[in-house]
Amino acid sequence: MINAIPVLIMILIVPLLIYFTIKWLSSFNIFTLTVKRWVFPVYTVILIVAFGLSFFLPLDVGSNESGIQRFDKEKVPNLYIIPQALGSVDLLKDYKVQEWVIPYDGDVFGIDTQGEEYINNIGYERKAEADGQIEATFYVTPYVIDNLDMTTDFMPEMQVTMQDDTLVVKTPTPIRHNISVLQKEFPIRQFAADGWLEGLKEEQSFRVVDEVSSDEAQPQWINVDNDRIFSTELLYLKIPANMEVKLDGEHHIFQVFPD
Amino acid sequence: MNVIETTGLTKTYRRMNAVDDFTVTINDNTITGVIGRNGAGKTTLLKMLAGLIKETSGDVRVFHEHPFNSLYASANSILIDDQMLFPEALTLSELLAQGARFYPGWDEAFAQQLFDYFSFEPKQIHEHLSKGKKSTFNMIFGLATRCALTIFDEPTTGMDAAVRKDMYRVLLKDYLAHPRTILISSHHLEEVEHILENILLIDDGTLHLHKSVEELKEYAVRLTGPTALLGQWLYNKDVLHKKQHSSDMMEVVVKRDFPLEQAERMGFHVTPVAPSDVCIYLTAKSEGGIDDVFK
Amino acid sequence: MSLNKVTTRQIVMKQYQYKLKAYYQVFNSMVILQVIALLFSTGGIMFRGGRGFGLDISLNTYTADMIIIFTFLWAFINAITITTKAYREDDFIFVTNRQTQHLSNMLFLITASVIGGVTAVLVGYLNDIIFFFTTDPKTFAGYSELITPFDVLTGVVATSLYVLMFCAAGYLVGVIIQLNRIFTVIIPVLIIGFLIVGGQTEGIPVNVRIYLFYVGETDVLLFMLKSLVTSALIFAGSFFLLRNKEVRV
């Protein structure tokens, strides 16, 4: 019933308001006969000019300064599961964000994360050789809303350094990322947008709940849920053959064994 | 050809018969005055003829068609009254242009001449005209349509005397030049009498009489004489009006259905009665007149 | 005395042309309403937030739906207006009967719907351009969905058909009010009652079903069929009610 109240207001009050506004406006004789005849033609010309101009402005996603891109894949790898499940990170190269090569000659090191973000998903594999270099790679899958990639290329940088026998991961202070998008009016979206009816039903909260998120058969993939794809992170380390990672109670650190 | 035929035509508003069992036939190319007091049912009758309102019972034919929802009747008839609403968005000259588009017989030159003669401005809006000016414009519009049936309901409301006289002259001249069937309603017969051929007298929604003006002039006579003598003589005569001049002199208006010499022989003073007075006497609510109220 | 024969077709076309001229001010009120709607649509309609790594995301979606809604209201109100005494009686100064009057009104409303539909979609572009120039370019991402020219064309047709349905509905309401003034009270009461009762029924409420029937239709051809049949039925009903309406009473 709460749903109906704004509708009632729309139906009853707004037309009245508009009706009286028009009455009130037309009660002034500011509109001479000539003005009255030219209002509509002038308006039409303005509209046509605006329509034409819209083709020359960077109004499409990807064409303007904001740098937002469309994300067209239906699913992204779940970084929490992929490395263990597949025993490899080769698949993840599209989602690589930063990498570091850190020389270290000890045989064991611990991991410490500092800063406002927290990385809890740390995997490592042992390289075949003992070259005294830790290769760290940071992967993040994008946060997608309405097929728009909201994160890739916008993430602040993170720092990974070795201090004594501790790999220090300095996470960035989150920055605010405001984006404005335009949608065409609903009679256009009605026939053009995917999942229009489902969206409507959801808006009216009568959607039959069917789980679209975790596909039981393939948990390593994240599907679009509710027009969104949630972000996952992975810090992946390749450590020399002779080295050990000190496990701690704070981080989820796991070893990956490539085939 | 009969332009208008009604039989038992009745229109009821809230159980009151505004027009009651009205049967009349009007020929083409006549000019008829529809006379009656205010509220007699003139307007209701005319609106039914124009197809604006629908009869409650009985039958009405205009050009042999039922005028309510007949395009044929609408194209050949028009009702001019002071309730006509013209669109506010159009200027007077645009209204005339629209008239020309809709009415095949429209006389543009005639309309334009009268428009100029009565000094209308082309850019004026009908709504902003004075009452008299509105009536004048409406009459010009009605005449210019040259509709085979042109109906005027109290067309001169609000006009000043000079314009009123002019308009009736225009009406008569135009009628003579382009004969058609014209109905004019008025509660002042004397005002229109000189242009009328026939008179339709309505009272209380019923037809009282439908005669030519000539016949109406002969319809009644006024007799003046001693009260005693005249009163006795009036036995089985049709008395329309009675007035006591003094205690022994009386004036009566009687229907003229006897040889006039009869009355003259009795020594009564015989004078003719104007048609407009006949109408007033015929539709008077009670015998006597307003004077009786003060007795 | 000469009598003139006229055909329904001739008179309907004459009345239609006359109405385009005489009812011209309805397009001025449309301009006013759409401009008001343009001012109203500056607020975002949807805000969504999220947390990515190192990012506090907020996505504001803007749409000129308000312009469409206002155009619907305009259509509804103006259709009521042309059933009022002043407009209905205009016709009877010229040659008419109730059938030609109704047909020419319908033609006029169809024309108004097309004009309303086309302008509403075009004002959307004006809205987008204004938005483009008034928004920080760093945050402006543009159209979130891919819209092809064909989609826009479909949108114009659909908007016009929506507007036509609102015209038809307004016309019917106007006609009912002309039959008896009491309906100015009864109709709003019925609508409220309908929404309340509709909201209490089992499952999906009737009003939502109606909404989904039109707005939820994603097949253009089916939508055209639905909206045209709806409008035609409503117009037919209006004519049926008004066929014996007297004028200048």
Say what the pLDDT of residue C80 is.
92
Q: Do A143 and C50 form a contact (C-beta atoms < 8 A)?
A: yes
Range of the domain at A136: 69-178+211-255
Within this chain, do residues B188 and B253 fall inside the same structural domain, yes or no?
A: no
- Residue B280 sits at the vertex; the CA angle it makes with B275 and B282, to the nearest 5 degrees, is 90
Residue A106, CB half-sphere, CA atoms under 13 Å: how many? 13
**How far is residue C63's CA from residue C138's CA, in Å, rounded to a whole number?**
19
Burial of C241: CB neighbours in 10 Å, binned 0-12, 13-18, 19+: middle
Radius of gyration over every alpha carbon of chain C, rounded to an integer in angstroms: 22
Within this chain, do residues B157 and B286 fall inside the same structural domain, yes or no?
A: no
Within this chain, do residues B224 and B210 fall inside the same structural domain, yes or no?
A: no
Name the minimum distance, in Å, from the CA of C247 to any CA of chain B. 5
Tens-binned pLDDT, residue by residue, of chain A (259 aa): 345 556 566 666 776 777 777 677 666 655 567 777 888 999 999 999 999 999 998 888 878 888 888 887 777 888 888 888 888 888 888 889 999 999 988 888 999 988 888 888 899 998 888 888 999 999 999 888 888 888 888 889 999 999 888 999 999 999 998 999 998 999 999 998 777 887 777 776 654 444 444 455 667 787 777 678 888 889 999 999 888 888 887 888 888 887 6
Query: What residue type is assigned to position C29 of the chain?
Result: S
Within this chain, do residues B177 and B257 fall inside the same structural domain, yes or no?
A: no
Chain C: which residues have CB within 8 Å of chain B?
1-8, 11, 14, 17-18, 21-25, 85-87, 89-90, 92-100, 243-244, 246-249
Residue B276, CB half-sphere, CA atoms under 13 Å: how many? 10
Q: How many domains are contained in chain B?
A: 2
pLDDT digits (tens, 9 = 90+) for C61-91: 888 888 999 999 999 999 999 998 888 888 9
Within this chain, do residues A47 and A81 fall inside the same structural domain, yes or no?
A: no
In this structure, what are the phi and psi dihedrals at residue A142, rounded to the nearest 5 degrees? -70, 155
**How far is residue B201's CA from residue B184's CA, in Å, rounded to a whole number?**
12
Q: Which residues pair with A179 in a beta bridge?
A: C59
Q: Are strands A175-183 and C55-63 parallel, antiparallel or unpaired?
A: parallel
Say what the pLDDT of residue A212 is.
47
Count of CB pairs separated by less than 8 Å, A with C = 287
**How far is residue B157's CA from residue B134's CA, in Å, rounded to a whole number?**
9
- Residue C121 sits at the vertex; the CA angle it makes with C116 and C126, to the nearest 5 degrees, is 115
Say what the pLDDT of residue A224 is.
72
Q: Residue C51 CB: number of other CB atoms within 10 A?
A: 14
- In chain A, residues with a C-beta closer than 8 Å to the C-beta of C62 are 180-183
Say what the pLDDT of residue B144 is.
96
**How far is residue B4's CA from residue B26's CA, in Å, rounded to a whole number?**
5
Within this chain, do residues A50 and A166 fall inside the same structural domain, yes or no?
A: no
pLDDT digits (tens, 9 = 90+) for C169-223: 999 999 999 888 888 889 888 888 887 776 666 777 777 888 889 999 999 999 9
Within this chain, do residues A44 and A77 fall inside the same structural domain, yes or no?
A: no
Within this chain, do residues B52 and B123 fall inside the same structural domain, yes or no?
A: yes
Q: Do C208 and B43 form a contact (C-beta atoms < 8 A)?
A: no
Whether B53 and C247 lie within 8 Å, measured CB to CB: yes
Residue B259 to residues B184, B209, B222, B231, B270: CA-CA distances in angstroms?
A: 34, 22, 14, 18, 12
b/e map of A44-67 (b: 16 or more CB within 10 Å)? beebeebbeebeeeebbbeebebe
Q: How many domains are contained in chain A?
A: 2
By Cβ distance, the residue of A175, A180, A228 closest to C55 is A175
Within this chain, do residues B146 and B82 fall inside the same structural domain, yes or no?
A: yes
Within this chain, do residues B225 and B287 fall inside the same structural domain, yes or no?
A: yes
Q: Do A179 and C60 form a contact (C-beta atoms < 8 A)?
A: yes
Q: Is residue A59 situated within a structural domain?
A: no
Q: Residue C232 CB: number of other CB atoms within 10 A?
A: 13
Domain boundary among B194, B214, B234: B214
Burial of C246: CB neighbours in 10 Å, binned 0-12, 13-18, 19+: middle
Within this chain, do residues A217 and A113 fall inside the same structural domain, yes or no?
A: yes
Say what the pLDDT of residue B234 is.
84
By Cβ distance, the residue of C74, C139, C142 closest to A182 is C142
Say what the pLDDT of residue A211 is.
45
Residue B246 to residues B224, B225, B226: CA-CA distances in angstroms?
A: 11, 11, 9
Query: In the numeric block, which tokens belong to residue B145?
Result: 């349509």
By Cβ distance, the residue of A15, A61, A175 closest to C141 is A61
Q: Which residues pair with A102 in a beta bridge?
A: A134
Within this chain, do residues A34 and A144 fall inside the same structural domain, yes or no?
A: no
Name the minimum distance, in Å, from the CA of B128 to any CA of chain C. 15
Q: Which residues pair with A138 in a beta bridge?
A: A98, A235
By Cβ distance, the residue of C1, C2, C248 closest to B83 is C248
Within this chain, do residues B114 and B195 fall inside the same structural domain, yes or no?
A: yes
Which chains form contacts with chain A, at 3 or more CB pairs under 8 Å? C
Whether B52 and C8 lie within 8 Å, measured CB to CB: no
Within this chain, do residues A86 and A28 fall inside the same structural domain, yes or no?
A: no
Domain boundary among B214, B249, B272: B214
Residue of B46, B85, B141, B147 to mutate, testing the C interface (most C Cβ within 10 Å of its Cβ): B85
Within this chain, do residues B81 and B152 fall inside the same structural domain, yes or no?
A: yes
Within this chain, do residues B198 and B220 fall inside the same structural domain, yes or no?
A: no
Query: Is any Cβ of chain A less than 8 angstroms from the Cβ of C111?
Result: no
**How far is residue B266's CA from residue B187's CA, in Å, rounded to a whole number?**
36
Residue of C nearest to B62 (CA): C3
Q: Which CATH number fits the domain that encloses residue B45?
A: 3.40.50.300
Within this chain, do residues B210 and B250 fall inside the same structural domain, yes or no?
A: no
Say what the pLDDT of residue C199 is.
65
- In chain A, residues with a C-beta closer than 8 Å to the C-beta of C29 are 22, 26
Within this chain, do residues A35 and A94 fall inside the same structural domain, yes or no?
A: no
Query: Is any Cβ of chain C less than 8 angstroms from the Cβ of B72?
Result: yes
**How far is residue B135's CA from residue B131's CA, in Å, rounded to a whole number?**
6
Within this chain, do residues A119 and A148 fall inside the same structural domain, yes or no?
A: yes
Q: Residue A209 CB: number of other CB atoms within 10 A?
A: 6
Domain boundary among B214, B246, B273: B214
Q: Is residue A33 situated within a structural domain?
A: yes
Packing angle of the helix pair A196-203, C206-215 (nearest 10 deg): 160
Closest CA to C96 of C3, C1, C177, C10: C10
Q: Are strands C46-52 and C55-63 parallel, antiparallel or unpaired?
A: antiparallel
Within this chain, do residues A46 and A135 fall inside the same structural domain, yes or no?
A: no
Tens-binned pLDDT, residue by residue, of chain B (295 aa): 889 999 999 999 888 889 999 999 999 999 999 998 888 899 999 999 999 999 999 999 999 999 999 999 999 999 999 888 898 888 999 999 999 999 999 999 999 999 999 999 998 999 899 999 999 999 999 999 999 999 999 999 889 999 999 999 999 999 999 999 999 998 788 888 889 999 999 988 899 889 999 898 889 999 998 888 888 888 888 888 888 888 888 888 988 888 888 888 888 889 999 888 888 888 876 555 556 566 5
Within this chain, do residues A44 and A73 fall inside the same structural domain, yes or no?
A: no
Say what the pLDDT of residue A216 is.
56
Say what the pLDDT of residue A7 is.
59
- Residue-by-residue DSSP string for chain A: -TTHHHHHHHHHHHHHHHHHHHHHHHHSTTS-HHHHHHHHHHHHHHHHHHHHHHTTS--BTTSSTT--EE---SEEE-TTTHHHHHS--GGGGGGEEEEEEEE--SSEEEEEEESSS---EEEEEE-SS--SEEEEEEEEPPPEETTEE-STTTPPP-EEEEETTEEEEEPPPPEEEEEEEEE--HHHHHHHSTTHHHHHHHHTT-------SS-TT-TTEEE-BTTEE---EEEEEEE-TT-EE---SSSEEEE----
Q: Does residue C5 sit in helix, strand or coil?
A: coil
DSSP designation for B53 = S
Q: State the DSSP H helix or E strand holding residue B35, giving kind and residue range, or none if neither.
A: strand B31-35
Range of the domain at B279: 216-293
Q: Is residue A192 situated within a structural domain?
A: no
- Residue B86 sits at the vertex; the CA angle it makes with B84 and B87, to the nearest 5 degrees, is 150
Q: Do B224 and B250 form a contact (C-beta atoms < 8 A)?
A: yes
- In chain C, residues with a C-beta closer than 8 Å to the C-beta of A177 are 52, 55-58
**How far is residue C61's CA from residue B250's CA, in Å, rounded to a whole number?**
97
Say what the pLDDT of residue A192 is.
86
Within this chain, do residues B156 and B245 fall inside the same structural domain, yes or no?
A: no
